[in-house]
Structure 1
Amino acid sequence: MNNRYFADATGEGVANDQKTARTFGVLFIVTFLTSIPAALLLQPVLNDPAGYLTGAGQGTQIRLAVFLEFLLIIANVGTAVVLYPIARRRSKILAIGYVAARIIECVFIAAGILFMLGLVSLHHDSPGSTDLALMLAALKDWTFLLGPGLVVPLGNGLILGYLMYSSGLVPRRMTWLGMIGGPLLLVGNLGVLFGLWQPTAAAGLFVAPEFLWELLLGMYAALWGLRCAAPVVAGSER
């Protein structure tokens, strides 16, 4: 099988690709800096939505978490859009698949944001609607399970992991964390979906490989860029 190299594999083209790669890495790190604090801020409210509704309220805390999740949406989509010009040279199908997965994930995150803002409105306008507050909190939990819980293992784990493995854009040993961690996390969250275990059960085992994969990928790309000048197999853009 014949190999061909990028037309821009030297000079300014490589420099531009490395800037793009580092931007991808920074955006990936931003997803950690927004999603984790947002989850920590929302957890007390999700644990006791009725208490939030009838108490003094944590409106500012929820609004801050919502803002962080809005930034998370921007960063998520940014990782896919920024990577696409480089990734499509290796596999157009995988590149499009990663963009699609990120968009689907962000739709669920946006829905969760709306449910949290609805909870804030209830606190102001109808503090006695505890049943509705419980429902909104439950819906937020479901959006997290369906979006970051089920879509991320496919998009960031399997699709992105295999794309990086097959292209050699990052060290291949690192990509196994994604290709193993993605299915592992998917199994863990499917178990939650079908009521086989609680979300907290064996959370570290299911989450750890995928978490490490995304963290290492972001740090590697931000610090060293990607191996953009590696050869591309002919026909990979189809």
Structure 2
Amino acid sequence: MTTTRRLVLASGVFYLLTFAFSIPAFFLYEPVLTDPGYIVSDGGDDTRIILGAMFEMFTALAGIGTAVAVYPIIRRHNQAASLGFVTTRSYEAAVMIIGVIALVSIVNLRQAGTAEGTDDTAMVAVGQALVVVRDQTAIFGPGFVPALNALLFGSVLYRSRLVPRIIPALGLIGAPLLLASVLARMLGVHDQSIFAAIALAPIFFWELSIGLWMTFKGFNRSALATLGLDEREKVA
């Protein structure tokens, strides 16, 4: 396996790992997100929350990996867009980690509060504030940034023909829809409406399809040759 194929494979696997980690993380977080009194509860499932935090952290790191792994290849087509993709992925991960810290802080405060008998009303207020922080990171990170990722990475793939154009077209179509949905949510126009689900669908299938394609098929050989690469060359 050549260096080029290994990099494309790594990027594809990282894409699939973002799905593998993020979906269970959402369900593991459920108790702390839906129970306002979790921070003062006696029987909190802290292990479950910490495991969800670990999965969320792995999701963030895998997201960075999707861009870093493929950067040496796609920069040959458009260095500015490729660097922008690495930057937006890194920003998305940083915002996600803030959300992770907020939820882990609830667990730590619950344990400290239970032991020291801290005022329950104050603890609940603090806990709800931290949940709000986490909810906002979900909007400004994985809610908003995937649209920018799709515009940057999708445009490179569409123009370079490294993959069938239908795949990046999904991302390029979904990006403005997702941006409109997130902006509407920020302005209070809707909250998790049907439009939000419709707007998210193209981005979901774009990221899943590009992850599967890069993992199992790789980039188009003739397109790689146009960039000065083929399966016998190493990426400089």
Same fold (TM over 0.5): yes
What amino acid does structure 2 have at the position aligned with 1:203?
A: A
2:136 corresponds to which letter in structure 1? W
Which consecutive unaligned segments of at least 5 residues does structure 2 have? 115-119, 229-236
Structure 1 position 200, deviation (Å): 4.3
Residue 222 in 1 paired to residue 210 in 2? no
Which of 50, 64, 69 aligns to 1:77? It is 64
Letter in 1 for 2:74: A
Offset from partner CA, 1:69-102 (integer Å, 9 cap, x none): 1111221111111010001011000110000000
1:124 partner amino acid = Q
Q: Deviations over 1:95-150 (max 9, x none)?
A: 10000000100110110011011100111112520000000001000001000111
Q: Distance in 1 between matches of 2:39 and 2:91?
A: 30
Q: Is 1:174 aligned to 2:167, yes or no? A: yes
Task: Report the alpha carbon displacement of residue 190 of structure 1 after superposing the two structures with TM.
Answer: 1.1
The equivalent of 1:193 in structure 2 is 186
Q: Indicate the percent of aligned positions where both proteins have the same amino acid.
A: 33
User: What TM-score, normalized to structure 1?
Assistant: 0.87
Match 1:144 to one of 123, 134, 138: 138
Q: Partners in 2 of 1:164 and 1:22 — Cα distance?
A: 15
Question: Residue type matched to 2:141 in 1?
Answer: G
1:58 alignment partner in structure 2: 45
Match of 1:99 in 2: 86
The Cα shift of 1:202 comes to 2.9
Distance (Å, rounded) in 2 between the aligned partners of 1:47 and 1:90: 46
In the superposition, the TM-score normalised over structure 2's length comes to 0.88
Over 3 Å counting, the alpha-carbon distance change for 1:112 and 1:182 in structure 2 is: same
- Counterpart CA distance in 2 for 1:110 and 1:51 is 21
Q: How does 1:156-175 map to 2 (within 5 A)?
A: 157-175=150-168
Report the residue type matching 2:197 in the other structure. Answer: G
Q: Distance in 2 between matches of 1:20 and 1:227?
A: 14
Deviations 1:37-93 (A, max 9, x none): 111211332122324532410201110011111111221111111010001011000
Q: Higher relative CO (CA 8 A, sep ≥ 6), structure 1 or 2?
A: 1
Residue 197 of structure 2 aligns with which residue?
204
> Structure 1 158/88 Cα, relative in aligned 2: closer, same or farther at 3 Å?
same
- Once residues 195 and 123 of structure 1 are traced to their aligned partners in structure 2, the CA distance between those partners, rounded to angstroms, is 31
Corresponding residue of 2:128: 134
Q: Indicate how the Cα distance of structure 1 residues 136 and 201 shifts in structure 2: closer, same or farther if over 3 A, else same.
A: farther
Q: Does the 8 Å contact 1:149/1:189 carry over to 2? A: yes
Cα RMSD (Å): 1.6
* Amino acid in structure 2 at the alignment position of 1:37: P
Asked if 2 retains the 8 angstrom alpha-carbon contact of 1:18 and 1:228, the reply is no
* Alpha-carbon spacing, 1:205–1:55, altered in 2? closer, same or farther (3 Å): farther
2:156 is aligned with what amino acid? L
Counterpart pick for 1:213 among 206, 210, 219: 206
Alignment partner of 1:154 out of 114, 126, 148: 148
